[in-house]
Structure 1
Amino acid sequence: MAPVAPAADPRFEPPTLARRFGALVVDWALSILVASFFGDPVRDGWSPVVTLIAEYGFFVGLFGQTPGMRLARIRCVSFTDGGRIGVIRALLRGALLGLVVPALIMDRHRRGWHDRAVGSVVVAAPPRPAQPSATGR
């Protein structure tokens, strides 16, 4: 089944800012952890930011969600067709998100400047399919 484009869905309801912020906190913590392997995140403030941008480029570009987004059950998709945005657009989105200010100015779909610049939107992730129990019940 093809994803429904948020731009074409009059019932589209974006996820809460709390879920988005929670996902960002998880992703930021992961980027600090990874950045600590090749630099001192406290002394070299650029390393966690570069790591976060790379994390967004890889995970959002290829899978539509970062680890934090997966935990928050949200994903980042193309606003016009509901599909993946690709690595290049995800890298640009991550770089703009690193500037912070674009993320604070949102439209009615809770799309910050970083989302509008690359044509993306954050949506609720579809529910995960139920896993069969080990007992077969």
Structure 2
Amino acid sequence: MNVATRARLPVTEPADFGRRFAALIIDWALCLLISSFYADPRVVAWPPVVVLVFINALFIGPFGQTPGMALARLRCVSFADGGAIGIAKGLLRGVLLALLIPAIIMDADRRGLHDRAAGSIVVKVPKA
């Protein structure tokens, strides 16, 4: 990330892998809970994955955080301007996150392939 881009972002430090993983585990537990209302995740594996994709689209798109990211003090913002990425890009990011492999292939800015495809970056939220 160049200096000009960092200056435009509200928070400039990319999130570390540990926090991102913790947020994902929290979100995954939430997805298992939600999907258990209409399907048994032990029998049918895809319902929690669908919930994860939609949580990413509906929470990250307009608000920049999933519940897990909020607890881990992370925010997903546009790499270009630090704003919201929108529901369509949130959906794309969620689909690629569900594939897992794009999420673990990271660049120097700790952006996974899913972040690069959506034009996003996950950053730490400063303490208030």
The two structures have a TM-score, normalised by structure 2, of 0.91
In the TM superposition, structure 1's runs of 4+ consecutive aligned residues that sit over 3 Å from their partners are none
Give how far 1:124 is off.
1.0
Which of structures 1 and 2 has the larger relative contact order (alpha carbons within 8 angstroms, sep 6+)? 2
Answering whether residue 54 of structure 2 is matched by residue 57 of structure 1, we say no
Partner residue in 2 for 1:133: none
Identity %: 55
Length, aligned pairs only? 124
Change (3 A) 1:70 1:29: same
On the 8 A contact 1:31/1:49 being kept in 2, the answer is yes
Any gaps of 5 or more consecutive residues in structure 1?
A: 129-137
RMSD value, Cα: 1.9
Match of 1:43 in 2: 43
Measured against aligned partners, the alpha-carbon deviations of 1:44-67 in whole angstroms (never above 9, x if no partner) come to 100000000011111101211000
Distance 1:46 1:69 in 2: 22
Q: 1:7 to 1:73 in 2, by over 3 A?
A: farther
Deviation (angstroms), 1:15: 1.5
Matched, 1:8 2:15: no
TM-score computed with the length of structure 1 as normaliser: 0.85
Alignment of structure 1 residues 1-137 onto 2, 5 Å: 8-9=5-6, 12-128=12-128
Larger Rg: 1
Q: Secondary structure at the match of 2:121?
A: strand
- Cα distance in 2 for partners of 1:7, 1:101 equals 30
Per residue, is there more helix in 1 or in 2? 2
